[in-house]
Every structure is written in structure tokens, then in C-alpha cells.
Amino acid sequence: MPNRQRGVILFIVMSIIIVVIVLATVVLRITLNQSRLTHHQVSRIKAYYADKAGMNLAFYKLRVGTWSQHATGINYYCINGKVDVAVTCLDTVTDTAIPYNVQIAVYPQSQPGINNTAKIDVKCDYSYTIP
């Protein structure tokens, strides 16, 4: 085989290797981006359901009478700890199944409500950090 043909074959092999490396890099970047997106979505869903758990806990505790409404101020109750630094939680429930701190605010009945209803505000300390 003449040297010229060996040079052409070497060029073709090197070109194929470069194309394979570029394609592998693209596939790897797409996979990493999908992994980050999935992690972010799962974290958001966990925070959403942590808030739902806080809301259901508030409904239950208010119905049973363990927690109460203040006549003029807002009562704060927490799961695993408070979200806002300036807030004082009247009761803190520890739950290892909930991965975030959840803060529940029970407002007074200052607004005319239906059958003695009041506003309940639930906050979660969800924050996403890029791994």
C-alpha cells in the first residue's frame, strides 16, 4: 500500500474518532442536563407535598383543638423548624419524612368568614442548589 493511501486512511480514522468524541460529549451534556432538571423537579414536588402536609396537619390540629386561633394576632406553628427568622413558633412538630422546614400561620377571624373560618398560610424553605 503506498504512503499516500495510508495517509488518507489515517485521516479518515482520525476524523471518525473526532466525530465519535463530539457525539459522546453532546450525549453526556444532554444526560447531565436532564439529571439536573429531574433533581430540581423532584425537589419542587417534595416541597409542594411538604406544604400540603403542613396544611393537613393544621386542619387536623385546629379541628381537634390542639392548636388555636389568636383573637388579634397570627399564631405560627412549624414542622421541623421555622422558615422566617423573626417568627416564633408556638408548637414545633418534628417529622423526619418531611425533608424541609414548614411554617404554618393561622390568622385570626378578623375578616367575616363562612362558619367561623380563618386564613391558613403555609411556607416551605425549599431552595435548590446545583449539585
Q: pTM of the entire structure?
A: 0.68
pLDDT of residue 100: 86
pLDDT of residue 81: 81
Please write the tens of the pLDDT for every residue from 60-118: 888 888 877 776 778 888 888 888 888 888 888 888 888 888 888 888 876 666 676 77
How far CA 73 is from CA of 37, 69, 90, 112, in Å, comes to 41, 8, 12, 16
Domain locations in the chain as residue ranges: 3-124
Report whether pLDDT(27) > 90: yes
Cross-strand bridge partners of residue 75? 106
